[in-house]
Structure 1
Amino acid sequence: MTPDGPIAYPETARDDIVEELAGRRIADPWRWLEGDVRHDERVAAWVKVQADLTAAYLDTLPGRGAIRERLTGLWNYERVSVPRRRGGRYFFRRNSGLEAQPVLCVRDMLDAAPRVLLDPAGWSGDGATALGEWEPSKDGKRVVYAVQDGGSDWRTLRVLDVTSGETLADEVRWVKFSGLAWAGNGSGFFYSRFPEPRAGLEHQAQNLDHGIYFHRLGTDQSADFLVYATSDRPRLIHAGEVSEDGRWLLISSAEGTEARTELIVIDLTAPKLAPKILVRGLENDWRLAGSKGDVFYFVTDLEAPRRRIVSIDVGSEMRRRREIVAHGEDLVADALVVGDRLLVSVLRNVASELRLYDLDGRLMDTVALPGVGAVAAMEGDGSSAEAFFAFTSYDRPTEIHRLDVASAAVLPYAQPSLSFDRDSFVVEQSAATSRDGTVIPLFLLRRRDVTGPAPTMLYGYGGFEISLTPGFSPAALGWVAMGGVYAVANIRGGGEYGKAWHDGGRRANKQNVFDDFIAAAEQLQVDGTASRIVIHGHSNGGLLVAAVTNQRPDLFAAALPAVGVHDMLRFHRFTAGRYWIDDYGDPGREEDLAVLLGYSPIHNIRDGVDYPPILIATADTDDRVVPAHSFKYAAALQTAQIGLKPHLIRIETRAGHGSGKPTAKQIEEVADLWAFAAYWSGLAV
């Protein structure tokens, strides 16, 4: 086998299944590939043959070992999360560089030496069991934490005693899509879960009947009591937060991925826990910024497509809303009550600014940031004037800074040592014009000495109101270090410019997403940036890559769709897929089906057209976007008459949608993808 030689694909059996949807009869010949690889021997055999074929092909690629070595060096830097202060202690996650998983650490005082509380290294032999969500109690004496195994979205909760370092006997299972909130007195915690799924369907069955429960320390999970659920609306998902004074439980409920929530409050000091409606209906976005007594502060898009901040007195029967920070030209990305201030992160032209307001909404100061980039996270509370924030950019690994909100003074708290010279790289912003005249921003990262057209990796997402803000990626820097250009397109469907930008790329407007991405690729060639273009995307971005490959196969040197949604007629039938109807539409509705059929990757592969090389990436434990999407897409590509270039699938084991993947597996996957992309784009390794 050679990289550009013919490939003998294994034959994939076809079913005769034809399904009727909204009056249309649609064939689904690879329905059998929806079986769970853990329990279906036929699917497992197909996966084994495909994995062996791809491994044999990847072994032929020149320079893969050198790419892996370079990536390993770039990945080897300290990564620290924003600390959470509880009871005078500071809790944070840290990876020294190449550890399989980050560890949980604590400082007993601000400048005390850190000590390790939890190290997942001993939780499994392959490093694929990770620390998921975690939350210290308000007095800092205990931590409830989630164990994530093999990349699955399912979690098991445990509790750690911070002083002794001992893990308590408490165990809570079948937790998913859950926040963690301690009772004010530390007696237990609130969490969210689904009912235990049927055996064999853990990673495929639809997730319904989410509920918020309370677990009292020292008791069995069977004694946990249901605090809130909506049996009449089983599709709702619920998250609970406890107010800083411990009096109120705020419950946010949503039906899908669109930011439309209703709010319930429960007075935890009342003799009976009685839910009271704070915001009725699923119409607007409401995000808690913090509270002062009974006054809650929210970021909302109510009458504000770029969001504003309002307060609500939850203790008042009237629960009147008061505007604190008005709607403006810039997008309100996040807000936090810290001391007697509101710390507000805004996006201006896809870069962050930090502003300080008093609690009446008067602008008090602007926080000096280290450069042009993104505020990735903020931590603080109303009891102290101390806050922390993370800052990053394409050429700047995440730094942690400490902020005194009274003076707006910023001090570095944790800055990684760099294994590269930042001055040898350049970050630029440009733009493309989409088919309908919309201007699409582009970020470019390149080596300073690369001044002419170069092989370019174009990344995009375009969905679910997720903003692609500047952020450091050792994978991106690895491509650039080889002499390539790394480009990120801020296409519609994301949240970079608020609700209208999101709405412009969802449901009936989804084609705008693909037009924007194609326009970005064309602009990179027109302006002399790109010699050849490789496209890359994850999840909804994997859908993006597959869809534009169908629409413009002539434009790309290679395509790398990862953990993508590729069967747009059946995405809603598995695990959390039903939430995505907000963005994609409902395949059971005639008008939505027509749109979905127009771009669904497996339904729009064009026989008789020469396609670029494609390397699909997925994982066997992905229970967010089930791997059947990628399996069926690979079968469709390999069966179609689309030319002689390779169309392969890389299937990771003991991994999921992305979170919790061990560092070594991350490096290995990127090395494979980049070696494939480098060969077909002409990038010298």
Structure 2
Amino acid sequence: MSSDTPPVAKKVPAERTHHGDTVIDDYAWLADKDDPDTVAYLEAENAFTQDQTGHLKDLQEAVFQEIKSRTLETDLSVPTRKGGWWYYSRTEEGKQYGIQCRVRATGDTPPELKADEPLAGEEVLLDGNELAGDSPFFAMGTSAVSPDGTVLAYSTDFNGNERFTLRFKRLDTGEALPDEIPNIFYGGAWSADGSAFFYTIVDDAWRPYRLFRHIIGTAAEEDVLVYEEPDERFWIGVGLTRSERYIVLSAGSKITSEVRVLDADYPTGEFAVVRPRETGVEYSIDHAGDRFLILHNRRARNFEIASAPIDDPGTWTPLVEHREDTRLLDVDAFSDHVVVHFRKDGLTGIRVLPENAEPYEIPFPEPIHTAEPAGNPEFHTRRLRLAYTSMVTPPSVYDYDLTSRELILLKRRPVLGGYDPEDYEQFREWAVADDGTRVPVSIVARKGTSRPAPTVLYGYGSYESSIDPSFSVARLSLLDRGLVFAVAHVRGGGEMGRQWYEEGRLTSKKNSFSDFVAVARHLRSSGWSSEIVARGGSAGGLLMGAAVNLAPEEFSGVVAEVPFVDALNTILDPSLPLTVIEWDEWGDPLHNPDVYAYMKSYTPYENIDDRTYPPILAITSLNDTRVLYHEPAKWVARLRAVAAGGPFLLKTEMGAGHGGRSGRYDAWREEAFTLSWILDRVNAAEAKADTEEKR
């Protein structure tokens, strides 16, 4: 087969019956990644995609060079104080991965930053480039220094399946300890004396369900199973309170939480339940002196904050009461103040509760922005570290002085090549959905861009995850070519509070898709947009597939990255990773015929028809454990067999996971590939429109 000929997937009818409904799936065979025919098909798709995008080679290189030239390749993060050290990471020109470092602390003010040279007295903890070696993929899962600062626990993954190997390194000597533990999950927690490290492992469905205690200097086979979560809907995770007084074991489904705590001074003790799980009640904790602070939604849809005695943690006394217009996101306890991260009117904010003064909110300079606490490991501090960005302001790090109430800018990510935020402008618009709901839209463009303009419309809309306003260096390559970039904050996300999420999940999921189409139509009718290319990934890829099924005529192209487009078949199979956990998000079609019928009515793979679809680029990874590669592979195969239009392209990274390629230069090249495809789509669409107008 020539690479300029679209691959045709063979049809191997596989029959399934659920709730009296018999369905033939011609492409189910693609789920077997060990089948040589599967690999051959994916490789044929890659060859076809390469052929179809070959004319974009120069544009891809130009965009890659733009991203690279705007990025300060040798740079370092703002150091974070923990104990007697300042911790930071840095990058070096030409190297794919970051380098973790520290220097001894001599005061409360971070050392002066010099991007082109290491800080004086630098100690390298881990060099990702040395660890990666010649591996085409590399990722870190855990990096945690013991409380006394002498031992580093870290974990690595070399194929993208998010199963990490845990190792330990003495920082005072540089010695690699013999302790080695394979197949662990993210995260971990040290005991107070650094003698024990707690970690989690996953089951066959990729669910972290077991907590182990490892004693430094012993074999992994001797590690003690501390806790096992039997309920397949629940994940577990382990960490420390900021005070480092308590090890926290959290178990959570999509809608229910349960927390256990253990005094970090007694790692061989028993974890105690803070409050037994209650279906629909989510909560998390932090420790402050003689009390726990509890963020919870018990009889408080948008969450409230309670205080609870250490010796009676299940008795909750309101501290910050519930408000219908404000979603509380997080609470951070410090020695003499509490910090609350919240969301209101689609934007984030930060409130400070001093110990002996009235609460107040921290003001920020732009009406459209994203702000959150970041990098605050010290319990005793008079400064609060904040992360800030907007669609025109690069990621910025501030210290907020709690005494003077002053925002101190420590660093704004450099954007080389003469970037000036004054050359760009951001907007908040509101589209009206089919049911009359007002849907927020964030927009950024270069000043002077003529309208209507070609537009990239991004969306996600699941898990109460919010796509908050943020800056992107790569996006400048679109804006500077006259494109507009917009984010549709559709229901199913969390931008407008818990109700916004609830109105876009389970049997209200279709609101996410109709909201997205409503935003696209609003951008056209309000004069913003001419051609629209839609883009989304993972659950946002489901959004792409469902929206293009609803209104293929609205889009000049669709980019679907690691897209969850075969959702019904996946959610029907409890043996697959994440399935049982996902029933709280999407519903349980295996046991509930109404859920089955509802999902079947919207899932992208089942609802392709013979209308004319726009060109589609689907991007996936062979080792993805979250959205398996066969979902987009089957989707593209069916599009090609049933729909008109296209072309429909599938690009599979054969050695990576859910996040794609791991090295920063590799990631930039992948983004340049995607952006050049988008630019080609809007140029082709505009050329077609001009021709039709002349006719």
Both structures adopt the same fold (TM-score exceeding 0.5): yes
- Are the equivalent residues in 1 in contact too, given 2:208–2:237 (CA < 8 A)? no
Report the residue type matching 1:73 in the other structure: S
**Superposed displacement of residue 577, structure 1:** 3.5
Match of 1:585 in 2: 587
Give the whole-Å Cα distance in 2 for the aligned partners of 1:269 and 1:382.
17
**Superposed displacement of residue 678, structure 1:** 1.4
Specify which of 294, 298, 302 is matched with residue 298 of structure 1. 294
- Greater RCO between the two (CA within 8 Å, min separation 6)? 1
Specify which of 335, 339, 342 is matched with residue 335 of structure 2. 339
Give the whole-Å Cα distance in 2 for the aligned partners of 1:594 and 1:655.
34
**Superposed displacement of residue 545, structure 1:** 0.5
Match of 2:541 in 1: 542
Give the whole-Å Cα distance in 1 for the aligned partners of 2:187 and 2:292.
18
Inter-CA distance 209–146: structure 2 relative to 1 (3 Å threshold): closer
**Superposed displacement of residue 158, structure 1:** 1.9
Describe the SS at the equivalent of 1:249: strand
Match of 1:54 in 2: 49
CA deviation vs aligned residue, 1:576-628 (integer Å, no higher than 9, x gap) = 23322222112212111111101111111112x11100010111221111111
**Superposed displacement of residue 463, structure 1:** 0.2
Give the whole-Å Cα distance in 2 for the aligned partners of 1:222 and 1:271.
18
Inter-CA distance 80–373: structure 2 relative to 1 (3 Å threshold): farther
Report the residue type matching 2:144 in the other structure: E
Describe the SS at the equivalent of 1:210: strand
Match of 2:599 in 1: 596
Match of 2:565 in 1: 566
Match of 2:397 in 1: 400
Report the residue type matching 2:595 in the other structure: D
Match of 1:632 in 2: 634
- Between Structure 1 and Structure 2, how many residues are aligned? 662
Give the whole-Å Cα distance in 2 for the aligned partners of 1:180 and 1:359.
31
- Are the equivalent residues in 1 in contact too, given 2:200–2:208 (CA < 8 A)? no
Specify which of 16, 19, 31 is matched with residue 19 of structure 1. 16
- Are the equivalent residues in 1 in contact too, given 2:206–2:578 (CA < 8 A)? yes
Report the residue type matching 1:598 in the other structure: S
Inter-CA distance 467–68: structure 2 relative to 1 (3 Å threshold): same
Give the whole-Å Cα distance in 1 for the aligned partners of 2:267 and 2:638.
60
- Are the equivalent residues in 2 in contact too, given 1:252–1:262 (CA < 8 A)? yes
Inter-CA distance 63–378: structure 2 relative to 1 (3 Å threshold): closer
CA deviation vs aligned residue, 1:223-253 (integer Å, no higher than 9, x gap) = 111111134x244211123345555332211
- Are the equivalent residues in 2 in contact too, given 1:82–1:389 (CA < 8 A)? no
- Are the equivalent residues in 2 in contact too, given 1:394–1:472 (CA < 8 A)? yes
Give the whole-Å Cα distance in 1 for the aligned partners of 2:488 and 2:94.
29
**Superposed displacement of residue 78, structure 1:** 6.8
Match of 1:45 in 2: 40
2:479 is aligned with 1:480:
yes
In percent, how many aligned pairs have the same letter?
26
2:519 is aligned with 1:520:
yes
Match of 1:353 in 2: 349
Match of 2:497 in 1: 498
Match of 2:675 in 1: 674
Report the residue type matching 2:40 in the other structure: A
Match of 1:388 in 2: 385
Give the whole-Å Cα distance in 2 for the aligned partners of 1:218 and 1:272.
16
Describe the SS at the equivalent of 1:72: helix
Aligned ranges 1:198-237 → 2 under 5 Å: 205-208=204-207, 210-231=209-230, 233-237=231-235
Describe the SS at the equivalent of 2:142: strand
- Are the equivalent residues in 2 in contact too, given 1:456–1:532 (CA < 8 A)? yes
Give the whole-Å Cα distance in 2 for the aligned partners of 1:303 and 1:396.
38
Inter-CA distance 624–306: structure 2 relative to 1 (3 Å threshold): same
Report the residue type matching 1:606 in the other structure: D
Give the whole-Å Cα distance in 2 for the aligned partners of 1:98 and 1:521.
40
Match of 1:440 in 2: 439
Inter-CA distance 501–159: structure 2 relative to 1 (3 Å threshold): same
Specify which of 52, 59, 65 is matched with residue 63 of structure 1. 59
Report the residue type matching 1:182 in the other structure: W
- Are the equivalent residues in 1 in contact too, given 2:621–2:660 (CA < 8 A)? no
Aligned ranges 1:110-121 → 2 under 5 Å: 110-111=110-111, 113=119, 114-121=122-129
Match of 2:183 in 1: 174
- Are the equivalent residues in 2 in contact too, given 1:355–1:363 (CA < 8 A)? no
**Superposed displacement of residue 96, structure 1:** 5.2
Describe the SS at the equivalent of 1:474: coil
- Are the equivalent residues in 1 in contact too, given 2:464–2:498 (CA < 8 A)? yes
Inter-CA distance 252–130: structure 2 relative to 1 (3 Å threshold): same
**Superposed displacement of residue 84, structure 1:** 4.5
- Are the equivalent residues in 2 in contact too, given 1:158–1:168 (CA < 8 A)? yes
Give the whole-Å Cα distance in 2 for the aligned partners of 1:226 and 1:309.
33
Give the whole-Å Cα distance in 1 for the aligned partners of 2:531 and 2:296.
42
Q: Which moved more, 1:541-550 or 1:89-98?
A: 89-98
- Are the equivalent residues in 2 in contact too, given 1:559–1:614 (CA < 8 A)? yes
Describe the SS at the equivalent of 1:428: strand
**Superposed displacement of residue 534, structure 1:** 0.2
- Are the equivalent residues in 1 in contact too, given 2:608–2:643 (CA < 8 A)? no
Report the residue type matching 1:599 in the other structure: Y
Inter-CA distance 151–173: structure 2 relative to 1 (3 Å threshold): same
Aligned ranges 1:608-619 → 2 under 5 Å: 609-619=611-621
Inter-CA distance 548–230: structure 2 relative to 1 (3 Å threshold): same
**Superposed displacement of residue 292, structure 1:** 1.9
Specify which of 4, 9, 12 is matched with residue 6 of structure 2. 9
Give the whole-Å Cα distance in 2 for the aligned partners of 1:107 and 1:541.
41
Give the whole-Å Cα distance in 1 for the aligned partners of 2:431 and 2:91.
38
**Superposed displacement of residue 151, structure 1:** 2.7
Give the whole-Å Cα distance in 2 for the aligned partners of 1:241 and 1:618.
32
Describe the SS at the equivalent of 1:508: helix
Inter-CA distance 332–235: structure 2 relative to 1 (3 Å threshold): closer
Specify which of 286, 310, 313 is matched with residue 314 of structure 1. 310
- Are the equivalent residues in 2 in contact too, given 1:83–1:388 (CA < 8 A)? no
Match of 2:452 in 1: 453
The answer for unaligned runs of 5 or more in structure 1 is 196-204
- Are the equivalent residues in 2 in contact too, given 1:148–1:660 (CA < 8 A)? no
Give the whole-Å Cα distance in 1 for the aligned partners of 2:652 and 2:466.
28
Give the whole-Å Cα distance in 2 for the aligned partners of 1:79 and 1:344.
31
Describe the SS at the equivalent of 2:206: coil
Specify which of 81, 85, 107 is matched with residue 85 of structure 1. 81
Give the whole-Å Cα distance in 2 for the aligned partners of 1:500 and 1:35.
39
Inter-CA distance 524–671: structure 2 relative to 1 (3 Å threshold): same
Inter-CA distance 76–128: structure 2 relative to 1 (3 Å threshold): farther
Report the residue type matching 1:515 in the other structure: S
2:192 is aligned with 1:161:
no
**Superposed displacement of residue 403, structure 1:** 2.6
Match of 2:151 in 1: 142
CA deviation vs aligned residue, 1:530-567 (integer Å, no higher than 9, x gap) = 11000000100011001111111111000111101111
Match of 1:199 in 2: none
TM-score, normalised to structure 2, is 0.90
Inter-CA distance 578–73: structure 2 relative to 1 (3 Å threshold): farther
2:238 is aligned with 1:240:
yes
Inter-CA distance 433–229: structure 2 relative to 1 (3 Å threshold): same
- Are the equivalent residues in 2 in contact too, given 1:249–1:267 (CA < 8 A)? yes
The answer for unaligned runs of 5 or more in structure 2 is 113-118, 688-695
- Are the equivalent residues in 1 in contact too, given 2:450–2:482 (CA < 8 A)? no
Inter-CA distance 75–579: structure 2 relative to 1 (3 Å threshold): farther
Report the residue type matching 2:565 in the other structure: H
Inter-CA distance 235–511: structure 2 relative to 1 (3 Å threshold): closer
CA deviation vs aligned residue, 1:89-137 (integer Å, no higher than 9, x gap) = 1223334576422221223223272543211112231552122332222
Describe the SS at the equivalent of 2:509: helix
What RMSD in Å do the two structures reach over aligned CA positions?
Answer: 2.6
Q: Which moved more, 1:376-385 or 1:537-546?
A: 376-385
- Are the equivalent residues in 2 in contact too, given 1:539–1:625 (CA < 8 A)? yes
Report the residue type matching 1:407 in the other structure: S
**Superposed displacement of residue 215, structure 1:** 1.4
Match of 1:468 in 2: 467
Give the whole-Å Cα distance in 2 for the aligned partners of 1:67 and 1:270.
55
CA deviation vs aligned residue, 1:27-84 (integer Å, no higher than 9, x gap) = 1111110012xx3312111111111111111112373332222233334467766755
Give the whole-Å Cα distance in 2 for the aligned partners of 1:430 and 1:245.
42
